[in-house]
Amino acid sequence: MTNNVEQENQIESKSPVQFDKPNEITTVGNNEIATINSHTINSINLFDNQQLLAAENFLTRLIKSDKSGIKSVNDGLAILMRAQDLNLPFSGCIEHIHVINGKTGIDIHVIKALLLKAGCVWRCIKDYQPLYEYTDGINAYAEDKLPDYAVKCKSKEEADKLADSDINKEHIYVYPTRYYQDLNGNIYKDYLLSTKQFAIAINKQQIASISQSGRIPVLRIPNQPIDYMTEYEFIRYREIYGKIVETKATGRFSYSEAQAADFFSKDTYNKYPRIMISHRAFTYGAREIASDILMGVMETTELKQINNIDLTDADIIEI
């Protein structure tokens, strides 16, 4: 019986699995990030000439296969260095890390993966949410820039009622700006309509009557958004000196900010504004909550825009 047990132990010890070196574990907060096995290309010491030559040979073969997207050995080495820095598998990085004018950028999928490994969670608070203009009848305010003393109301009637009951006048009561359109397609805001020049019509008979009186008939139309906003909230849990610490951050980006940066001169931004603005909002928040994980790396579309390189559909959507 003893001989059988010894034989089984010898067989197990010679199994190929026994010779695999276990992954090293790096602790980040309460999360353990598994590194790549030591026998992969990620472990190559780029300061060792022999290992560097082996890496160059491997990359040359990879380029010839025309399956990696890598255009040169130097680009491949740049991606390899970034993969080592971020502790990511090279095989995944060649599809999600790009070299642009000598700098490496990572796409949004890698950013999300890194945040999850770092113990970050997030939720989308505003998903390309339309923002409207509010008014008190005199002044106009963007919905996301209302002063602290402003109270949002659903209608002018509600705002007037609350204003009358506010004895100390501590607040202003604002309501959504109404929009009107004339028969030529021109759009007007309610507080800019002159009753001497314009009149509101609700049917064809009133349109004819107003026209005969010499005034311009206008029709009520749905409220017009003045902006679109995407906003993410991030939460990260880390262990610091034996205690679990919660950190929060916010990432936001808007249509008007994209316009100010002249992003819409690019055709891709015009085709996919919601996705592009979402990526930018997420990247801003990700860098704030986990700069120690991202190490200052830029998101691919962000890096292309800075270098004035046109975006393509493949940069935005998975085809």
Q: What's the pLDDT at 39?
A: 61
Q: What's the pLDDT at 40?
A: 73
pTM over 0.85: no
Report DSSP letters for the chain, one per residue.
-HHHHHHHHHHHHTSHHHHSPPPPEEEETTEEEE---TTSGGG--TTSHHHHHHHHHHHHHHHHHT-S---SHHHHHHHHHHHHHHT--HHHHHHHEEEETTEEEE-HHHHHHHHHHTTEEEEEEEEEEEE-EEESSS-EEEGGG--TTEEE-SSHHHHHHHHHH-TT---EEEEEPPEEEETTS-EEEGGG--TTTEEE-SSHHHHHHHHHTTSEEEEEEPPPPSEEEEEEEEEEEEEETTEEEEEEEEEEEEHHHHHHTTGGGSHHHHH-HHHHHHHHHHHHHHHHH-HHHHTTPEEHHHHHHHTT----HHHHS--
> What residue ranges do the domains of the chain occupy?
22-106, 115-129+226-316
Residue bearing tokens 């007007």: 188
What are the average pLDDT values for consecutive 10-residue runs of the chain, which has 319 residues?
47 37 40 48 85 90 79 90 89 88 90 92 96 94 94 95 92 96 94 90 92 94 96 93 92 95 86 93 96 90 87 72
Task: Please return the burial class of 263, using the count of CB atoms within 10 Å of its CB with bins 0-12, 13-18 and 19+.
Answer: buried
Q: What's the pLDDT at 192?
A: 87
Q: What's the pLDDT at 91?
A: 85
